[in-house]
Amino acid sequence: MGAPNPLVTVEPFLPAIRSHPGPVYECGEGVFQPVLAGNSSCTGFGPRTTTCPEIISNDRIIPPSSSQPSSAVVSTPGCTPASLMEAPNLLVTVEPFLPATRSHPGPVYECGEGVFQAPFTGEYTCNPSNCLSVPVVPYSRISNTPSNTTVTNPVFNDTLLIYYQNAGGMNCDVTKYYLATSDGCYDVVVLTETWLDPRTTSSSVFGPDYEVFRCDRSPRNSRKLTGGGVLIAVKKTRRVTNIQNDLWGSVEQVWVRIQLSNRSIFLCGIYFPPDRIRDESLIDTHNLSIMSVVETASATDEIIVIGDFNLPGISWRSSCNGFLYPDVEHSSIHNGASKLLDCYSTATLRQINQVTNENNRCLDLCFVSAQEEAPVIIEAPLPLVKDVNHHKALVITLHDHQISLAQSISSVFYDFRKADHQSIIEYLAAIDWNDVLDERDVDIAARTLSHILGHIVDRHVPKKIRANNDHPWISRDLRRMKTTKRAALKRYSKYRTFSLREHYTRLNSAYKVASRLCFNRYQRKIQQNLKSKPQEFWRFVNEKRKESGLPTTMTLDENVASTPDTICQLFAEKFSSIFCNETLPAAIHWRS
């Protein structure tokens, strides 16, 4: 047996357990307990190096026994198989299932935004069944990891919340919508009957956090000059592309494509005015857009069409899988509605909204592409700004099952003030630079030095989530309230209990009051400092009167780019296509 108490690096079976405190505790999102990498004890979730006579295997603890053969290989979840009986002093390599997690401390802990614990590159083996592999810089000389080792990014479930409402006019409530959407609770906001026109900029309604696509009422899509209008606002953390076609200009609708990790969501917001719902030419144009998108979408993509259809005569009956079908015997269906429903049936789009208004009618409909079960659609716990007669606010919940933290790396920064300087000094002192750096090639030596320093920084400098500084009037306390409110909304959209709805209502009321106070305080400060700091005043004004920020996607001759590298490549192609290399004359005479 040799040494009976080997040092064993152990990983708990549940890589991260997240507690969801109830609304009674008022603890916000709860605390996300991450798995920390390193040497650990067998008897707890906190990884520590200790003496461990047992070996964990699947669902039980196996004490070391002399009856086991010396060549037995013990396989533990997350560990590299090793013969512990043959080499009792061997340190087992541990691979956490989630190499990077983020803790969300509740407001009572006064711990700020939480700490982003990053993976230590080159230290872990790969578990392909749980992670998405991405190539990283090899550190074979300093961590004894093979140069072809790949470290993985975590995979976790994310929720996409889509808010829909017939706004009933927004011109009088621009500031209210600006404050209501500043909490960022909803990833997508779809509004009909916006009543907006080009005089109202999208940035004055949604601020810099959303990318807004609008279809305002115009002589091309309506015989009226006011009213109507559709918009879709998508958070800039999502990759979105606007789908346009001049042939669809007669319909008040907006099409966008939201790119998720494993599929795309084709989302359409549409408004059929009551006086045009029987216009078959209008229906044909909309059906043309439906079939065009269906041809574009792949088999794994989803199509969602939501809006105010103004079809109160149709009665809907439910099925066992959550989809709704027209009840022909109890419905009044005219020719325009019949053509619309026939097209949706051909495109395998099914209706899922059964939230009726006070007249027991369903004016706002939501059609989704065929699936095994209908997505979750519920009445919103509270409207963004106001209640609208005959139109309930709705929330659709979608899931994205493969999200990589590399997508949000731009929101993470190193906190060098809290770096472990002593560990960095010891790490650098332990490196034999004569052996590590290649004296024959200065380029290879420079790259090696850069990799080593990057590895040291990544390992010994903590990472934090970059706070959203786009709204200068948001205080730290308001940001905490925002985080708590978002968590409460997601919990309600998942469990839909009365207590969770009441909890969200209380948080939303408190957030509205606090955000209004912070915004008014910020405005007074700008006014008071108008003479001493005029640049702050004009910055505030410019944010309101012009569109700010860059789009998340750009196109050039049917080529779509959504990452910084691909966007730069499109610009390079555009510039190179118009560049003309002219040969100047050998001698140029200048005259004064």
- Return the ∠ at Cα 498 (arms to 360 and 108), rounded to 5°: 140
Which residue type sits at 109?
Y
Residue keyed to tokens 């200068």: 472
The pLDDT assigned to 534 comes to: 85
Distance between CA atoms of residues 555 and 241, nearest Å: 9
Alpha-carbon distance of 494 to 506, in angstroms, equals 18
Q: Is the pLDDT of residue 284 over 60?
A: yes
Q: Which residues pair with 256 in a beta bridge?
A: 242, 267
- Candidates 196, 296, 206, 205; CA nearest to 256 is 296
Overall pTM surpassing 0.75 (yes/no): no
Structure tokens given for 269: 């917001």
Write down the pLDDT at residue 53.
Answer: 40
Under a CB-based contact definition with an 8 Å cutoff, are residues 208 and 195 in contact? no
Beta carbons of 303 and 296 less than 8 angstroms apart: no
pLDDT at 11 over 50: no
Query: Is it the case that residue 137 has pLDDT exceeding 80?
Result: no
Pairwise CA distance, residues 161 & 189, whole Å: 9
* Residue 406: half-sphere exposure toward Cβ, Cα within 13 Å: 16
Residue 585's pLDDT band (cuts 50, 70, 90): low
**pLDDT value at residue 553:** 73
Q: Are 51 and 58 in contact (CB under 8 A)?
A: no
Question: Which of 13, 205, 208, 32 lies closest to 96 in space, CA to CA?
Answer: 13
Side-by-side strand order, sheet with 412-414: 101-102, 115-117, 463-465, 412-414
**Inter-residue contact 310 to 283 (CB < 8 Å):** no
Question: According to the model, what pLDDT value does residue 349 have?
Answer: 95
**Chain CA centroid to CA 527, Å:** 36
Which of the listed ranges 89-103, 147-161, 561-575 does the model predict with the highest average pLDDT? 561-575
In the prediction, which pLDDT does 465 show? 63
Cβ neighbours of residue 460 under 8 Å, at least 6 residues apart? 419, 420, 423, 424, 427
Phi, psi angles (nearest 5°) of residue 478: -65, -35
Q: In sequence order, which residues have a C-beta less than 8 Å from that of residue 157 and are 6 or more positions away?
A: 399, 400, 401, 403
Q: What is the pLDDT of residue 466?
A: 59
* Average pLDDT of span 396-414: 61
- What is the 3-state secondary structure of 479-533? HHHHHHHHHHHHHHHHHCCHHHHHHHHHHHHHHHHHHHHHHHHHHHHHHHCCCCC
Cβ-based neighbour number of residue 141 at 10 Å:
16
Kindly tell me the burial class for residue 139, based on how many C-beta atoms sit within 10 Å of its own C-beta (0-12, 13-18, 19 or more). Answer: buried
Q: Would you give the DSSP letter of residue 14?
A: S
Query: What's the rounded mean pLDDT across residues 56-82?
Result: 40
* Residue 391, beta-bridge partner list: 388
- Report how far apart, in Å, the C-alpha atoms of 124 and of each of 351, 459, 535 are: 47, 13, 50
Place of tokens 């009037």: 473
For residue 107, the number of C-alpha atoms closer than 13 Å in the C-beta half-sphere is 16
What's the Cα-to-Cα distance from 304 to each of 128, 176, 309, 353, 553, rounded to whole Å?
A: 32, 28, 14, 12, 21
Q: Are 254 and 216 in contact (CB under 8 A)?
A: no
| pLDDT the model gives residue 567 | 79
Q: Taking a C-beta distance cutoff of 8 angstroms, is the pair 452, 139 a contact?
A: yes
Question: DSSP for 431-472?
Answer: --HHHHS-SS-HHHHHHHHHHHHHHHHHHHS-EEEPP--S-T
Sign of CA dihedral 556, 562, 566, 568: positive
- Full DSSP string of 159-185: EEEEEEEE-S--GGGHHHHHHHGGG--
pLDDT for the residue 581: 67
Tell me the average pLDDT of the chain: 74
For residue 307, what are the β-bridge partners?
Answer: 270, 365
* Euclidean distance between CA atoms 548 and 542, whole angstroms: 9
Give the mean model confidence (pLDDT) for residues 276-286: 93
In whole angstroms, give the CA distance from residue 497 to residue 24: 14
Sequence-distant (6+) residues with CB within 8 A of 10 are 40, 41, 42, 47, 52, 56, 76, 79, 92, 94
- What's the alpha-carbon Rg for the chain, to the nearest Å? 29
Q: Which residue type occupies 306?
A: I
pLDDT of residue 479 exceeding 60: yes
C-alpha distances (whole Å) from 465 to each of 116, 310, 411 are 6, 45, 6
Contact 270, 282 (CB under 8 A): no
pLDDT tops 60 at residue 350: yes
Strands (E) in 67-174, as ranges, are 101-102, 115-117, 132-134, 151-153, 156-166
Band of pLDDT at residue 209, cut at 50, 70 and 90: confident
List CB contacts of 532: < 8 A, sequence separation 6 or more. none
Q: What's the pLDDT at 123?
A: 35
**Nearest to 195, CA basis, from 169, 177, 175, 172:** 169
Q: What does the block give as tokens for 418? A: 């809290």
pLDDT in tens, 544-556: 766 655 666 777 8
Range of weakest confidence among 150-164, 255-269, 300-314: 150-164
